[in-house]
Every structure is written in C-alpha cells, then in structure tokens.
A and B are shown apart, each in its own frame.
Chain A
C-alpha cells in the first residue's frame, strides 16, 4: 500500500538560511508526487508537483523539489527562507485504491527565526 513519511515533525531555520524538508514514499510504480503548504487556519495550497520528466521540479514561492527514485524521496528545498514561509508542509501521493484519494504525510511544521 502507498504511504508517505515525513520524518521531521518540526524544523526551525533562521531567516535567510536554506531549507530542506524530507519526504519518503512507498509506491508500486513511478508515483505522482505533491507538496502542499498550509498556513494556520487556512486550506492547503499546492507548491509543486511531479508527474514525469525532469526530476527537479520548480514550484511557487521559490520552492523546488527533487524526485529520487533510488531513494524513494521527494525532498522540498528552498535556498533562502523568508519569515512568511513559516507554515505546515505536507507531502502527498495519490492512492491506488480507487476514488482518486490522496495519501498525505503527517506534515512538517516549519518555524523561522529572525
């Protein structure tokens, strides 16, 4: 069965520092992969997605993610974090049990310190 693991419950980085949020997946074939961001009290916004092709995917707000099949990973990165990036980040893959459900990771809370 598909699963998504985000090993870090929370991460704190200094403003201006680089960021990497980890995501590992379990999937039977080449997956579609997503990263979503959720600000407090808000819904989820799609940051970026991987369907096929170039394994380095560019997203909104300066984020990028790299699909590494050998490591079953899809880590999210940003070279320079801004205070407004503080939020919850979810990695996700589609389920294959029908109904087009999405399997979400547990989320990583990003704190940004001045």
Chain B
C-alpha cells in the first residue's frame, strides 16, 4: 500500500514552453502533497506544500507564478513549470501524506520526474 506515481518519468522540452507533472496517490487519500526539487548530489529542496482544495504554500524563494501547483482531488496534484528555462532542468519529486499519518510526518514518495529544458 501507499504507492505514489509520477508522470512523466522523463520529459525534455524546449525553452519557453510549459510542462506539467502529475503526482497521484494510487491506493490512499492524500490530503497533503509535497513537491521537491533535487539538484545533482544534493538533498531534497522543498518547493511547496499543497493541500487538497486550497492554494499551495510555497517555500521562500520559489516563484509561485513559475511553478504552478494544483491539488484538485485527494489523489492528484500537478506541478506545471511555466515558460521553462534550462536552469529549471532538475529532478522533481512529489510525496504525499496519508490522512491517517499526517501527524507523524511520514511521507510516501513518487519515483521522480527528470526535466530537461533545451
């Protein structure tokens, strides 16, 4: 149980275009989902916390107009990188907290999406 999927796993796009990444909890309801960015050989950097039915909370320094997050249902959150630039190339990982486990901080991670902007 507690499986999180991400789609696509890899995407290459041209500079100036937008890319949407989906994060789904497959067998549980996720009130809260998190989006991380990971640079090579670095730890995870939290970008934003998204709660179902409300606006995402962005971390300091993360451009909310550039990284649009939508959490339309208890099983789906999307991250859209708008007007992508080469510096947005990175590994993006989502995670989800089960409604049952929120207080403990346990998260279930997706497999990640490798974004390359050319």
Binding site for B on A (CB under 8 A): 32, 34, 36, 41-46, 49, 51, 90, 92-95, 99-102, 104-107, 109
Determine whether B97 belongs to the interface, using a CB cutoff of 8 Å to chain A: yes
B66 interface contact, C-beta 8 A? no
* Given A34-B105, A44-B93, A51-B104: A101 touches B110 (CB 8 Å cut-off): no
**A41 contacts across to B, CB distance below 8 A:** 91, 112, 114
Indicate if the CB atoms of B46 and A101 lie closer than 8 Å: yes
Known: A43-B6, A107-B43. A101 touches B109 (CB 8 A): no
How many A-B residue pairs have C-beta atoms within 8 angstroms? Tell me: 61
Q: A102 with B105: in contact, given A43-B111, A107-B43 (CB under 8 Å)?
A: yes
Q: Is there a chain A Cβ closer than 8 Å to B27's Cβ? A: no
Instruction: Sample 19 A-B pairs with CB under 8 A, ordered by A number.
Output: A32-B106, A34-B106, A41-B91, A41-B114, A42-B112, A43-B4, A43-B6, A43-B93, A46-B106, A49-B104, A51-B104, A90-B43, A90-B44, A93-B105, A100-B103, A101-B46, A102-B46, A105-B43, A109-B41
B32 at the interface (CB under 8 A from A): yes
